[in-house]
């Protein structure tokens, strides 16, 4: 079953009551830990793991270390859907992030529709050297006078044209960036950015480690969400570029870690 296909009614009817309820929780929340699910259903962690394995085998959710996540196209929206969400906010965030990139800089652009919005604005800059694992961002910049674009090779992952794998991270480890513009899917309680895909997280971490400053680009809809894994700790970020101020606790955690908050007006 591909990520764009929905499970049939026959497949769902094969589930027992607990498995169907577990699936509903994961789809509603985006991700749930084994421990939380075991407590919710008053069963052992091993029982929950067996349920998750069965649901994963049937293409109903994704099994991760320590829990389960919703498939792309359920809670995690597909690329085409993401392109149509919060367009004005993403454009404003992209413009604000691009304004922090000086002409002549060496920049890493991450995957994601918000970073793509920044790439569209950066197309008007001069003398940039851009490295990216996003085929979409590369195409926005391709052929622009004075902008050199290097695509970090690897395996193509998903409809967004993201590149991941050892070849991608190997190239980035040998580089040095003035700025890295990073996308994300949610936040941990202490202000750490999070994402769903572990292979994409590996690329993000490598780029952040090789950047003098990192800007996290995030629309306000992601402030109340968690994801599967932390990308880096909050203090690895120089700034968060968003369209609305985060909730008070997240704002305080970012401030405590020395992270600048840049609120762009849509």
The confidence band for 86, taking pLDDT boundaries of 50, 70 and 90, is low
Most confident of 6-10, 44-48, 58-62, 161-165: 44-48
pLDDT reported for residue 158: 66
Q: Helices marked H in the chain — which ranges?
A: 9-13, 17-29, 34-41, 45-57, 79-83, 87-99, 113-122, 135-141, 166-173, 198-209, 248-256
Average pLDDT, the chain: 86
- CATH class of the domain at 81-263: alpha beta
Burial 164-195 (b: 16+ CB within 10 A, else e): bbeebbebbeebebbbbbbbbbbbbeebbbbb
Overall average pLDDT of the 200-206 stretch: 95
Assigned architecture for domain 9-69: Orthogonal Bundle (1.10)
pLDDT reported for residue 2: 41
| Structural element, H or E, at residue 212 | strand 211-217
Higher pLDDT residue, 21 or 27? 21
Overall average pLDDT of the 45-52 stretch: 94
Weakest mean pLDDT among 21-35, 164-178, 196-210: 21-35
pLDDT 10s digits, 256-266: 999 999 999 76
List of residues 6+ apart from 209 with CB closer than 8 A: none
Distance CA 256, CA 201 (A): 24
List of residues 6+ apart from 145 with CB closer than 8 A: none
Domain boundaries, the chain: 9-69, 81-263
Distance CA 73, CA 254 (A): 31
Burial 2-34 (b: 16+ CB within 10 A, else e): eeeeebeeeeeeebeebbeebbebbbeebbbeb
């Amino acid at each position: 079953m591909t990520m764009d296909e929905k499970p049939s009614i026959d497949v769902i009817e094969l589930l027992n009551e607990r498995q169907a309820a577990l699936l509903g929780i994961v789809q509603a929340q985006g991700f749930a830990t084994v421990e939380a699910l075991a407590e919710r259903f008053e069963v052992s962690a091993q029982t929950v793991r067996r349920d998750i394995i069965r649901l994963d085998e049937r293409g109903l959710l994704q099994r991760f270390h320590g829990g389960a996540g919703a498939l792309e196209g359920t809670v995690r929206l597909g690329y085409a859907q993401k392109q149509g969400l919060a367009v004005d906010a993403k454009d404003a965030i992209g413009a604000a992030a691009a304004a922090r990139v000086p002409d002549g800089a060496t920049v890493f652009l991450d995957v994601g529709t918000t970073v793509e919005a920044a790439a569209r604005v950066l197309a008007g800059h001069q003398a940039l050297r851009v490295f990216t694992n996003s085929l979409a961002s590369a195409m926005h910049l391709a052929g622009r006078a004075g902008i050199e674009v290097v695509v970090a090779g690897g395996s193509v992952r998903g409809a967004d044209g993201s590149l991941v794998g050892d070849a991608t991270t190997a190239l980035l480890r040998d580089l040095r960036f003035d700025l890295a513009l990073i996308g994300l899917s949610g936040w941990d309680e202490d202000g750490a950015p999070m994402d769903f895909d572990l292979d994409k997280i590996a690329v993000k971490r490598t780029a952040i480690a090789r950047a003098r400053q990192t800007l996290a680009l995030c629309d306000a809809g992601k402030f109340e969400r968690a994801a599967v894994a932390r990308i880096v700790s909050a203090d690895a970020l120089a700034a968060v570029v968003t369209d609305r101020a985060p909730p008070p606790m997240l704002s305080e955690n970012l401030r405590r870690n020395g992270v600048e908050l840049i609120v762009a007006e849509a």
